[in-house]
């Protein structure tokens, strides 16, 4: 039985994959429980897919999915969630901005919480990106009545059974803590490290992220307001009694 499924979206990250692979190997060894690593090539135009295939050929715990064309980070994550066989899913970026070692500090929260999500307390991005992200988090929290400091942090561990209930749409990877809570999951945010991107380029501009982010936020707010939550008092079918959603 697999305990952890790493789900890692890759879009034109050829220069980052070798180091990430080495770091992952170390962490998987330290975790000491059965893991699988699912690489999702999101239609890369560089040699990322070749590198992923090569790694998968050498490591039986590595699997990969390759998209015909770029679908976006949420799409790549959705494919990984569908494929995951572990009890928990661990998500992270493939550009080395997340440090897989932080996972070791996150795992102890499992059991008490269904989701442990990273907070890049000391973030290594441009001042403009940090500013716009802080602003976006503020608006997001205000409209979705949340208190998540850093929902954009990709380093997350989530109980797979909850994730499998969530229908992903483009952009919704930024709202996973809220979507998990809507399914009844308990969530804790813990500080994690963050590194500057040294190779490859960011796939997002500020304004496209801001505008699509606002549209997505309105959709999430609507989902929250219209969320179905019930507790069964009595039912003819004994399997349903006491069930809640």
Residue 102 interacting with Mg ion (CB under 5 A): no
Q: How far is the CB of 139 from ligand UDP (least distance, A)?
A: 17
For residue 118, give the nearest of 96, 141, 151, 144 by alpha carbon.
Answer: 151
Residue 119 contact among Mg ion, ligand UDP, none, beta carbon within 5 to 8 Å by kind = none
Residue 151 interacting with ligand UDP (CB under 6 A): no
Q: Which is nearer to ligand UDP, 59 or 203 (CB)?
A: 203
Residue 9 interacting with ligand UDP (CB under 6 A): yes
Total Cβ atoms within 10 A of residue 210: 15
Residue 132 interacting with ligand UDP (CB under 6 A): no
Tokens of 3: 């305990």
Rounded to whole angstroms, how far apart are CA atoms 187 and 69? 33
Rounded to whole angstroms, how far apart are CA atoms 107 and 86? 14
Residue 95 interacting with Mg ion (CB under 5 A): yes
Q: How far is the CB of 152 from ligand UDP (least distance, A)?
A: 7
Residue 73 contact among ligand UDP, Mg ion, none, beta carbon within 5 to 8 Å by kind = ligand UDP
Rounded to whole angstroms, how far apart are CA atoms 140 and 134? 10
Rounded to whole angstroms, how far apart are CA atoms 201 and 213? 20
Site of interaction with Mg ion (CB under 5 A): 95, 97
């Amino acid at each position: 039985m697999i305990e952890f499924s790493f789900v890692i979206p890759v879009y034109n990250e050829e220069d980052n994959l070798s180091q990430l692979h080495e770091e992952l190997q170390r962490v998987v060894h330290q975790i000491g429980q059965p893991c699988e690593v699912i690489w999702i090539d999101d239609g890369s135009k560089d040699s990322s897919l070749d590198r992923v295939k090569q790694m998968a050929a050498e490591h039986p715990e590595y699997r990969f999915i390759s998209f015909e064309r770029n679908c976006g980070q949420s799409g790549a994550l959705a494919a990984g969630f569908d494929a995951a066989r572990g009890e928990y899913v661990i998500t992270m970026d493939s550009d080395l901005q997340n440090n897989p070692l932080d996972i070791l500090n996150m795992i102890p929260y499992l059991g008490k919480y269904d989701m442990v999500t990273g907070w890049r307390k000391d973030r290594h991005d441009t001042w403009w990106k940090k500013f716009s992200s802080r602003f976006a988090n503020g608006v997001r929290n205000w409209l979705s009545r949340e208190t998540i400091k850093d929902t954009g942090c990709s380093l997350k561990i989530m109980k797979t059974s909850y994730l499998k209930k969530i229908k992903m749409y483009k952009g919704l990877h930024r709202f996973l803590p809220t979507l998990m809570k809507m399914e009844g999951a308990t969530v804790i945010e813990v500080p994690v490290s963050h590194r500057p991107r040294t190779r490859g380029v960011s796939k997002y501009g500020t304004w496209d992220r801001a505008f699509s982010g606002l549209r997505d936020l309105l959709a999430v707010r609507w989902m929250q307001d219209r969320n179905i939550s019930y507790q069964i008092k009595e039912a003819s079918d004994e399997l349903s009694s006491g069930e809640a959603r």
